[in-house]
Amino acid sequence: MAADCEIDDCGVLAIGRCLRCGRPMCTSHRALTPQGGPVIDQCTQCQTAIAKEGRDRSQREALEAEVARRARQDRMRTAKRAILSLIRQLAAAGHRPDKKIRHAQKQVEVGWWTRRTESREDPENHLYGWFVGTYTWEYSAMSGDRPREDRTSELRTYITLDRRLATEDRGPLWSDVRGMEVGIDPDREPPGRIYIDWEQVLARLTTIARELGVHAAEGS
């Protein structure tokens, strides 16, 4: 028995049924693919509804992602402030980082005839840090004669007394990389060079401080 199209009070002779809503539909109330071909089992109203659900879902997901991103940003900001505060407390208590991560050298003139220079150790500029974990760093590097290339490495990472996050010196092989550093800025993440969980850094530094007898103080 032939049915009439029930979409939009149409009434034209139906040629099929919509699988989703079960109503009979005519040729012009049959959904079309983006290429213009007929979608055999779907009416135009259901197609519109499905598209809207998809849009709503992706809007909702985008919103949730944004909320999560801001929440994380807030947590990281709080953690970074606490890290900076802890560094200040450690310094105030007279503690210095234990691990040398940069060995500094300087050129000095030797022999007042020749003006020859030699490299000498430069202890004032050695860099020391507290080890706070291994993190993923992105950098571009040159090795020997090979062209510069982008790399990602898990690197041992340290907190310095002058409020930086730094990696260990990587030796002469990576002559232009050596160690890397980023400042700790509560309001800004380092630009794409390091993926860091500041809460984890804070946890590590808190443990180090506790072992040294320094306990995190509120608002200092």
Binding residues for Zn ion, per CB under 5 A?
5, 10, 12, 18, 20-21, 26, 29, 43, 46
* Nearest-approach distance from CB 37 to Zn ion, in angstroms: 18
* Nearest-approach distance from CB 190 to Zn ion, in angstroms: 52
* Nearest-approach distance from CB 21 to Zn ion, in angstroms: 3
* Nearest-approach distance from CB 33 to Zn ion, in angstroms: 16
Nearer to Zn ion, 16 or 97 (CB): 16
Nearer to Zn ion, 45 or 157 (CB): 45
Q: Can you tell me the distance from the alpha carbon of 203 to that of 174, in angstroms, rounded to the nearest whole number? A: 31
Nearer to Zn ion, 20 or 163 (CB): 20
* DSSP-assigned states of every residue in 84-118: HHHHHHHHHTT----EEEE--EEEEEE-TTT-EEE
* Nearest-approach distance from CB 60 to Zn ion, in angstroms: 23
| Residue 180 near residue 167 (C-beta atoms within 8 A) | yes
* DSSP-assigned states of every residue in 21-47: T--EE-GGGEEE-TTS-EEEEEEHHHH
| Residue 84 near residue 69 (C-beta atoms within 8 A) | no
Nearer to Zn ion, 26 or 101 (CB): 26
Q: Can you tell me the distance from the alpha carbon of 133 to that of 5, in angstroms, rounded to the nearest whole number? A: 67
Q: Can you tell me the distance from the alpha carbon of 125 to that of 107, in angstroms, rounded to the nearest whole number? A: 13
Nearer to Zn ion, 8 or 74 (CB): 8
* Nearest-approach distance from CB 136 to Zn ion, in angstroms: 49
| Residue 71 near residue 63 (C-beta atoms within 8 A) | no
Q: Which of 128, 136, 143 is nearest to 192 (CA)?
A: 136
Nearer to Zn ion, 36 or 213 (CB): 36
